[in-house]
Structure 1
């Protein structure tokens, strides 16, 4: 494999990781669509979100999210309630079944990540963990890049 510049290397790692994640999920007969998985994980992280906020977090059209949310409400994974602060908004939460599915999904995804990292030596895993922590901070920090 050719040596890639850092930006291209990061994109290639993310691309291959997402592909392998999707293959791991495809092995689970009870798995949901990618959009449904994202909705479950976002609501598990947040606890409760407005439908508009959810669409924004997922970078998806509100109408698309609305359709999927209605299906997930019908499947008993989500509940909808009018917002107490904005009469135009709808608040979404996971039902008990939705939370259970989100927890199972999280365990599956975390297990997949651990299986990928298990292919590395202990020293490499420590280096990768340090680099991932730095990347996470860089992606969540509003500060300017360091020279």
Structure 2
């Protein structure tokens, strides 16, 4: 099972690549990079992850991740919030400006993805939607344990 699972999980990465291939941030967002965009959109996902979990989710080491978060904080897009139950835990919250940036990014991505989705039949779109919903549910379960 482990070997098959790891191969199947690589397929998820291939799907992600297929959708993000050739994606670029809109010119109005040239002041942030794709890593910062991924951080913002991960925070925006509503999964309430701490900083360590976000860094792991997007595949960044602590140093580069912290630098990106520092830049986003300087731009006024995020703020750090220390956990009241565990002072070592820090969550990132979007500011109003951060939420506005996420809306712009989401609109840009939806436009880009729409072009990719046009290649799928209605049945394939429904299957993809179901699969993505399942992946999100399972990710939330695994991350929260």
**TM bucket by the smaller chain?**
0.7 to 0.9
Give matches, 1:105-144, under 5 Å.
105-118=105-118, 120=119, 124-136=120-132, 139=135, 141=138
How far apart are the structure 2 equivalents of 1:135 and 1:51?
27
Counterpart position of 1:74: 74
- SS of alignment partner, residue 49 of structure 1: coil
After superposing the two structures, state which structure 1 stretch, 57-66 or 11-20, moved more.
Answer: 11-20
Structure 2: gaps of 5 or more residues: 1-7, 140-145
Counterpart position of 1:28: 27
Q: Residue 19 of structure 1: CA displacement? A: 1.8
How far apart are the structure 2 equivalents of 1:38 and 1:11?
15
Structure 1: gaps of 5 or more residues: 1-6, 143-147
CA contact 2:76–2:95 (8 Å) conserved in 1: yes
Give matches, 1:35-114, under 5 Å.
35-46=35-46, 48-114=48-114
Instruction: Give the RMSD, CA atoms, in angstroms.
Output: 2.8
- SS of alignment partner, residue 20 of structure 1: coil
- SS of alignment partner, residue 76 of structure 2: coil
- SS of alignment partner, residue 21 of structure 1: coil
Residues 3-42 of structure 1, C-alpha deviations (whole Å, 9 max, x = no match): xxxx7998766534322223xx2x5242421111111111
Q: Residue 56 of structure 1: CA displacement? A: 2.1
TM-score by length of 1: 0.71
Query: Does 2:19 align with 1:17?
Result: yes
Q: How many positions carry a matched residue from both structures?
A: 129
Counterpart position of 2:5: none
- SS of alignment partner, residue 23 of structure 2: helix
CA contact 2:117–2:125 (8 Å) conserved in 1: no
